Amino acid sequence: MIVTLTANPSLDRTVALPSPLLRGEVQRAVSVSQESGGKGVNVSRALVASGLETVAVLPGGDSDPVLAGLREGGVPFAALPIHEPLRTNVALTEPDGTTTKINEPGPILSEDQQEALIGLLLERSRGASWVVLAGSLPPGVPADFYATVTRRLRSTNDGAAPRIAVDSSGAPLAAAVSGDAAGMPDLLKPNAEELAELAAAAGFATASTADELEADPEAAAAAAAAVVRSGVGAVLATLGSKGAVLVTSDGAWLATHPPVKAVSTVGAGDSSLAGYLLASSQGAAPADCLRQAVAHGAAAASLPGSTVPAVHQTTPDAVTITALRKD
C-alpha cells in the first residue's frame, strides 16, 4: 500500500494549442481536457493505472470536481471535508511539447484543518510501505509542514513507520531537508532546478544551474550526493529529456531513455516517482527502481494532457543504466 498526501490538490485543465503560444493574441484550442491533480494525486492515479494499491489523502468538499474526478477514475481517496472549492490549474501545451502552467494558490487551511489532515493521513497510512508528501502547500500552511508530518509519522508508528518520499519545491522543499534526522525523508524527488537549490543549501562547493546539471549527469550526481550527506536517504533527480539520476549512500546511477515525441510534460515527474515506487514495492534494486522511474516519465511525456501511463505502456528495457561517481 502506498499512501499519498496532497495538501493543495487541483483540477488540472490542459489546453492544447495548434501552434506556439502567441502572447496578446487570440488562439483557438485544438482540445481541452481535465483531470483531478496535484502531485500526490497524480502519483496515486499512476499507481492505480498499474494495479498497485494506493489511497490519496487530500482536503476537499464531497461535491468538489476534484473528488468527483477521483471517483470516476477509480482512485481510492480519503478526504478532509472543507467548504471552499479546490483550485484549478491551467496548462497550455504547444505542438513541440512546450508547456506553460498557471497555478492558482488554493484555499486557506486553518491550523485545525491542518491538524485534522495530518490525523487523517496517520490513520490511513497504518501498514503502508510508502507515504508520499507531494506538491505545493496552500495558504496558511507553514513551510515546514512536510517535516512536521514526517516526524509525526515516525513517532506514531513506533519503529514501523512507512518510508517517506517528498516531492515539492521552493520553501516547503527546503524546509523538508533542513531540520533534524527525524524530519528527513527517505526519498527526495527534485527536478534539476530544485536540485541546484538544494545542493547550494547543503553546502555543495560547486554552484550549478539547472541547465548545467541536465547537461552534466556527473555534476547532478555530485549535487545529489551533497543532499544525501545532509541526511536524506536517497535523491531521485529528474533531468527532463536527459533522464534521471539516483543517488543513495551506496551508489549513484544515471538512467536515459531514447528520445520520445513530447506531447505534454504535465505530470511526467509525478509519473517518474510512481514508477520508482512501483518497482520499489516489488523489491527491485535501486538501479532498477530508477529504470522504471525513467520509463514511466518518458511514457507520460508522450501522452496528452496530464494522462498517466500504466506500466504496460512503459518501456523499461529501452532504458540505459550507467553507474556514476558521486563524489
Active site residue 180: no
Helical segments of the chain, H only: 39-49, 65-73, 111-124, 145-156, 170-176, 192-201, 210-215, 217-229, 268-281, 286-301
Residue 258 buriedness (CB in 10 A; 0-12 / 13-18 / 19+): exposed
Q: What is the residue whose three cell numbers read 520520445?
A: 260
> What are the cell numbers at 11?
483540477
Q: Which of 12, 144, 167, 270 is catalytic?
A: 270
Q: What is the mean pLDDT of residues 152-175?
A: 89
pLDDT for 266 equals: 76
pLDDT tens across 252-307, in order? 999 999 988 888 777 889 999 999 999 999 999 999 999 999 999 999 999 887 78
The pTM of this model reads 0.93
Assign 188 a pLDDT band (cuts: 50, 70, 90). very high
| Residue 37 clears pLDDT 60, i.e. is over it | yes
Quick one: which of 38, 31, 46 has its CA closest to 66? 38
DSSP string, 139-177: TT--TTHHHHHHHHHHHHTTT-PPEEEEE--HHHHHHHT
Bridging pattern class, strands 320-323 and 130-134:
unpaired
Decide if 252 contacts 227 (C-beta within 8 A): no
pLDDT for 327 equals: 67
